[in-house]
Structure 1
Amino acid sequence: MKKTSKMIYLIVLLFLKLSCIKYPSNDKVNNSKVINERIEIKSSISLINQTIWVIHQDNHSNFWFGSKENGVFFYDGKIIKNYTMKDGLVSNDIRGIQEDSKGNIYFDTGLGVSKFDGQIFNTLPIVNPDLPTNDWVLQQNDLWFRIGFNKNGVYRFDGESLHYLKFPKSPQEDTFYKINSNTSLQPYGLYTIYKDRKGFMWFGTSSLGFFRYDGKSFSWHYENQLQTTPSGGDFGSRAIFEDKEGMFWINNSHFRYNIMPISNLNLNFKKEKGIGYKNENNQIEYPFFLSITEDDEGNLWMLTYESNIWKYNGKELIKYPIKNGEKEVMLYTIYKDNKGVLWLGTFDNGVYKFNGSSFDKLF
């Protein structure tokens, strides 16, 4: 329980710090002007930043590691290169990396989205930077971006421009403000975006649960056991994942969800028992995870902030402690590459790679 309280404290402290960053106004950053910066051949470096938020392998098998404040690090298996605002990135704080069908790489930051075509960085223009609209559509090749955490909305990229969309009202909103009448917290703050196998989009918020958009309607779901840790901390909706059986895992391992074909304002589902583990007091606990993936054998890997990876093989949870010597490593993301190898991005200890039995520090 003490570790869980520590985790929640550190996460809240991190996001409070981020919310205090002074960003330029939208008309300075997100206007229709496209910034073009031609990239010169860069000399390689030997190390990457130790705070890695996100990992992505492109369709040419190159790796991209997004850092907190030092831009993105490119790794082709031999050399490492670092790209920053000096090279055309809109910000050095990289919170998401995606790739389109043409091989263009997109970097999501709190100040906008940068597109890299292999030669130049472009800052994507926003059609409506100041006021979000309700013009929601769902296209197969669209990409979705956060551009920060403290807004009531999301950005859809149609291949040419970003469209700032307002979230539909949550059934939980009135209750939230009744309990937290004097709060400055944005309850719709966007923590995660997930695309399921049907192409439907899922959005996890800071305090109102999550909702699904199927191209026609929105379906919300809030559940106290998903949002609140055993110690009473507000975890938010940070991770959503559909496993090989089409079941959804959300925030923790207590339950898994079978989503029904038809839903209305409230998501229609059947809830099944998940998997837990016995702690040192012989009590059952269910880990809250920041990130989750599935390996090529169908095992689920759940990453917690508190230095642990949990592997679920369909029968039990197996713990993989992550340490650098005697030091416990705070974790942030788990990623499966094109060959099925697992990678970890950490809060302050670089990048780790799975060797088949344990995770080794690579950078």
Structure 2
Amino acid sequence: MKSKFIKKGNQIFKGIHIILLLFLIVFTSCNGQKKENIVTKKAFPNKEKIKILADSISIPAENLPEFKTDPHIKESQGNQISGVVRTMLQDKNKNFWFGTQNGLSRYDGQSLVYFDIKNLNGKSITIKAIAEDKTGNLWIGHSDGITKYDGTYFINYTENDGLISNDVWSITTDRNGTVWIGTLQGACSFDGEKFSVLALPKAKPDPTRGVTSDKIVHNIMEDSQGQLWFSTNGGAYIYNGNTIIGISEKDGLCNDYVNQTVEDLKGNIWFATAHNGLCYYNGTKYTPIEISLFDKDISIGSVIEDSKGIIWFNADKRNLYSYNGKELTKHTIEIGDSSPGTFQIYEDQQQRLWFVGFKGAYRFDGNSFVNITRNGPW
């Protein structure tokens, strides 16, 4: 299918306010200084990498206590995979990986194992994103840089190696094997040898969030045409390898504070925003999902399209919805005195939907939600 977003001549991004930042060509800032769009930061060849044998830090789940006092503390998470699961991924070998508030865990089809990864100060890290490259390496984005797992060793990279910021919020790998990292201080790529900064324009920090900045990149998505979409506090930015094109409220986007972008099976791009709900772009116009249940200032955190073509998203973390293009259905996970908050919605290779966040991991069986604990059901 031909891209709806990159066209020739006068058809380039019809109706969209365009910010063209030429690859490796300088642009002029307000004070007249010149900046490069791509800035290469060389890795430090003499720095000894933090390389840790996986077996040396693995802890079987049954060796951890099962009582629960605080969802943020690994040692007191009860029987949950974690009190707070930030993200998950199923790799090519069908292993399930869970990034949590206190580190990394893996279910390999037989047992659940925790990897006690710590930062340079000896403290547990918070994992916010996991991606797999085309050769099967895992790339883990967390609160102290990024970590590569090759199946045997964990190798950590930080600002000392050229990473733009140690506070990583998003990570993806493109079809060429390049790793793209979104951080509190902007975006960069890693080709295995060096880091290169992608200079996105500054935005306005979101004052309603506990952690924010004028450069934070919440999410990175590669579409079917190989273009990269960066979700920021200043709208969405599309990078095709040569130019960066910005999309904002001026173009019809429902809100500039974009949490995530997703491409559906028809080629539409969906935007989950922090303050004005959900909308999608079909190549011609933006269409908001008008829902009477929503307040105007509604925050959409995670959005996906499942294998059946149904859009799933969470509103204000605790409310879950599915949208089939005509009807909206609200779903509720019943547990205790409050529903668990969702950080990520994920569909596995068996086409099962997972919802991970506060109070652990849950899976939708078509009618109800099942809490997936250390003992499954897997």
- Find the partner of 2:61 among 24, 34, 45: 45
Equivalent pair of 1:296/1:340 in contact (CA under 8 Å): yes
Matched residue, 1:122: 155
**Residues 196-275 of structure 1: pairs in structure 2 closer than 5 A:** 196-206=223-233, 208-223=234-249, 236-251=257-272, 254-259=278-283, 270-275=284-289
Looking at structure 2, the residues matched to 117 and 254 of structure 1 have their Cα atoms a distance apart, in angstroms, of 37
Please say if 1:145 is aligned against 2:181.
Answer: yes
Matched residue, 2:372: 362
Looking at structure 1, the residues matched to 244 and 189 of structure 2 have their Cα atoms a distance apart, in angstroms, of 16
Equivalent pair of 2:190/2:196 in contact (CA under 8 Å): no
Counterpart residue type for residue 194 of structure 1: M
Query: What residue ranges of structure 1 are gaps of 5+ in the alignment?
Result: 1-25, 132-137, 229-234, 260-269
Looking at structure 2, the residues matched to 90 and 190 of structure 1 have their Cα atoms a distance apart, in angstroms, of 25
Looking at structure 2, the residues matched to 115 and 294 of structure 1 have their Cα atoms a distance apart, in angstroms, of 28
Looking at structure 2, the residues matched to 130 and 334 of structure 1 have their Cα atoms a distance apart, in angstroms, of 28
Same amino acid, percent of matched pairs? 26
Looking at structure 2, the residues matched to 341 and 38 of structure 1 have their Cα atoms a distance apart, in angstroms, of 32
- Find the partner of 1:294 among 284, 293, 305: 305
Looking at structure 1, the residues matched to 45 and 216 of structure 2 have their Cα atoms a distance apart, in angstroms, of 19
Matched residue, 1:231: none
Distance 1:285 1:314, change over 3 A: farther
Counterpart residue type for residue 361 of structure 1: N
Aligned pairs, number: 296
Looking at structure 2, the residues matched to 167 and 30 of structure 1 have their Cα atoms a distance apart, in angstroms, of 24
Equivalent pair of 1:210/1:220 in contact (CA under 8 Å): yes
Looking at structure 2, the residues matched to 220 and 331 of structure 1 have their Cα atoms a distance apart, in angstroms, of 28
Equivalent pair of 2:272/2:301 in contact (CA under 8 Å): yes
Distance 1:236 1:104, change over 3 A: same
- Find the partner of 1:63 among 96, 107, 111: 96
Give the secondary-structure state (helix, strand or coil) at the position aligned to 1:40: helix
Equivalent pair of 2:311/2:323 in contact (CA under 8 Å): yes
Looking at structure 2, the residues matched to 90 and 113 of structure 1 have their Cα atoms a distance apart, in angstroms, of 15
Equivalent pair of 1:124/1:162 in contact (CA under 8 Å): no
Give the secondary-structure state (helix, strand or coil) at the position aligned to 2:259: coil
CA deviation map 1:188-243 (0-9, x unaligned): 2111111111111111112x112100111110011178565xxxxxx821010111
Looking at structure 1, the residues matched to 355 and 158 of structure 2 have their Cα atoms a distance apart, in angstroms, of 32
Structure 1 or 2: larger helix share?
A: 1
Looking at structure 2, the residues matched to 76 and 61 of structure 1 have their Cα atoms a distance apart, in angstroms, of 7
How far is 1:304 from its partner? 2.4
Cα RMSD of the aligned pairs, angstroms, is: 3.4
Structure 1 or 2: larger strand share?
A: 2
